[in-house]
Amino acid sequence: MPIRKRSQTEKLEEARIALENAESNPEISEPLSENGYDAAKITEGKEILNETRRLYEQKETEVDETKESKAIRDNKLDILHKIYKKHRTKAKVIFRKEPVILNQLEIDGRIPTKYINYIEIVRKFYSVLLADESLQQRMLTLKITPEVLSQANSQLSEVEQAQADYIREGGETQQATEAKDDAFETLDEWMYDFKVVARIALANKPQLLEVLGFFVRS
């Protein structure tokens, strides 16, 4: 059977147990010290462990913040879409016989599903209407006032800000992930060397390797 890959939380816990027991048990600490892993060296390992844990927790926080920012963006986008869809439907009725205006408002085709394309046509729709008083007057025939159009445009701005926040959080999550992965690589290397030395130092007392959490073949 293939060996199961340990999770990062498992690696953190295994390192914590090994280092704490190596530090607190004289039967382990003394032979380790004789092989170069004295108190200062164990402290070095614990500092690497603590930094790895800090970066792991920071990455988890960034992931949560990214999820939250996406939820906020999606909620604002849903509100905008409901508003825009209603306004678009009414505009298509009002200008149904005027293909030039339909094209100007970009309501003569399908609504795009890709975010950036969708936002562009919504921005175009409201910017054209808000820049032309004659079009605004005609929208009044179906109870869409200039104030309502301005409110919709403000909702669009909120969506764009929420999208910017989401992209920023995503970038911060990526940076935190890279920093965390680098830290785990350092921890893995340190713990690998520690295990090798521990097996040498405790060769005559394999039961003490189990105290460190290391597997011992029977």
Average pLDDT over residues 90-96: 97
Cα gap 191→6, rounded to integer Å: 14
Least confident of 31-35, 191-195, 201-205: 201-205
User: Rounded distance, CA 84 to CA 62, Å?
Assistant: 32
pTM, rounded to two decimals = 0.84
Q: What helix, strand, coil percent values describe the chain, rounded to 5?
A: 80, 0, 20
CA separation for the pair 42, 184 (Å, rounded): 17
| Interatomic CA distance for residues 156 and 73, integer angstroms | 11
Q: What is the pLDDT of residue 6?
A: 81
Q: Cα–Cα distance between 165 and 65 in angstroms, integer?
A: 10
In which residue are the tokens 């060996």 written? 3
Q: Which sign, positive or negative, has the C-alpha torsion 14, 19, 25, 31?
A: positive
How many angstroms separate the CA atoms of 118 and 85, rounded?
A: 12
pLDDT tens per residue, range 143-154: 999 999 999 999
